[in-house]
């Protein structure tokens, strides 16, 4: 695993993370080692003992609902890709509506995830902190989790435009590229950036191999899904000349595989919501 920050001071504190970020802290507190991880903290799975009550965005119900929105959106994208691959009575417009319907739960889930990251404090101290003002979007460029969720939320909005414009797409190839392909490409790039940032947040570096950890599987499967979405976006460009018919199948197969990865990651996230720990009290 790549480490840009791995320091141990006299108090026995160990910090890890990619350059410019801290995603892991191990602190000696009252003779015990207290381990803090950024992803679990962001999702409210690592509870601060000084926090009087669990905030809404850190509740188990919130995490499950957020994951459920991603699961529904993924399922609709899988359905749209399946209808595009097999002979059906559905028209191209009707199938495009299915994709657009799938983009909406994605955006809701992306907003809820970013809202959670925007309102999660930094590494807790020994003293209880005052309740912060609620932020709808926030601005935390030095927080890896917020950067990841913000990029994903922006990506879901791009897919809203991409799928909506595809419902009544122009017959002109250059108009299709501008109104459908460009938003889809932007969304795919943002998804890929978001997925790798989330992977680094969990890995505490540029790379890790932790198949025994559930959170590692979630971010890895999600990253794989974003790679499939990127390949689908790259191959869906509409040129001025005729393209082979099989290329459309390649696009839809990759869309299906990407959505399937997102669906699996969402189900694993629901399971992850039960893994709640309490951070050991820190020394005053």
- Cα 265-271-275 angle, rounded to 5 deg: 125
Q: Are strands 277-278 and 24-29 parallel, antiparallel or unpaired?
A: unpaired
Q: Alpha helices, DSSP H only, in the chain?
A: 38-42, 60-85, 92-118, 144-165, 173-176, 182-203, 214-235, 245-272
pLDDT in tens, 190-230: 999 999 999 999 999 999 999 999 999 999 999 999 999 99
pLDDT in tens, 158-176: 999 999 999 999 989 999 9
**Which residues, at least 6 apart from 83, have a Cβ–Cβ distance to it below 8 Å?**
90, 95, 98
Q: Are strands 14-16 and 7-8 parallel, antiparallel or unpaired?
A: antiparallel
pLDDT in tens, 38-93: 999 999 998 877 676 788 999 999 999 999 999 999 999 999 999 999 999 999 99
The residue among 96, 145, 80 whose CA lies nearest residue 119 is 145
| Residue 196 vs residues 85, 149, 200, 245: alpha-carbon distances, Å | 29, 11, 6, 32
pTM score of the predicted model = 0.91
Burial status of residue 19 (CB atoms within 10 A of its CB: 0-12, 13-18, 19 or more): exposed
């Amino acid at each position: 695993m790549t480490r840009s920050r791995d320091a141990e001071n006299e108090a026995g504190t160990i910090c890890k993370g990619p350059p410019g970020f801290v995603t892991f802290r191990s602190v000696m507190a009252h003779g015990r080692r207290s381990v803090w991880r950024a992803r679990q903290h962001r999702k409210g799975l690592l509870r601060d003992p000084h926090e009087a009550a669990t905030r809404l965005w850190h509740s188990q119900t919130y995490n499950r609902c957020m994951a459920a929105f991603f699961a529904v959106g993924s399922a609709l994208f899988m359905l749209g890709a399946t209808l595009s691959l097999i002979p059906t009575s559905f028209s191209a417009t009707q199938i495009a509506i299915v994709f657009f319907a799938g983009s909406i739960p994605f955006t809701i889930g992306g907003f809820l995830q970013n809202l959670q990251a925007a309102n999660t404090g930094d590494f807790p101290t020994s003293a209880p902190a005052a309740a912060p003002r609620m932020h709808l979007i926030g601005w935390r460029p030095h927080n890896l989790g917020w950067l990841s969720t913000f990029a994903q939320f922006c990506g879901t909005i791009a897919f809203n435009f991409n799928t909506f414009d595809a419902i009544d797409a122009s017959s002109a190839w250059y108009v299709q590229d501008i109104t459908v392909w460009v938003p889809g490409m932007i969304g795919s790039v943002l998804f890929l950036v978001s997925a790798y940032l989330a992977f680094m947040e969990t890995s505490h570096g540029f790379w890790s191999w932790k198949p025994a950890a559930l959170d590692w599987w979630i971010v890895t499967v999600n990253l794989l899904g974003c790679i499939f979405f990127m390949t689908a976006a790259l191959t869906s460009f509409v040129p001025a000349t005729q393209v082979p018919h099989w290329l459309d199948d390649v696009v839809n197969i990759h869309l299906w595989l990407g959505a399937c990865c997102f669906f699996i990651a969402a189900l694993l996230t629901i399971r992850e919501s039960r893994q709640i720990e309490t951070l050991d009290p820190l020394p005053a």
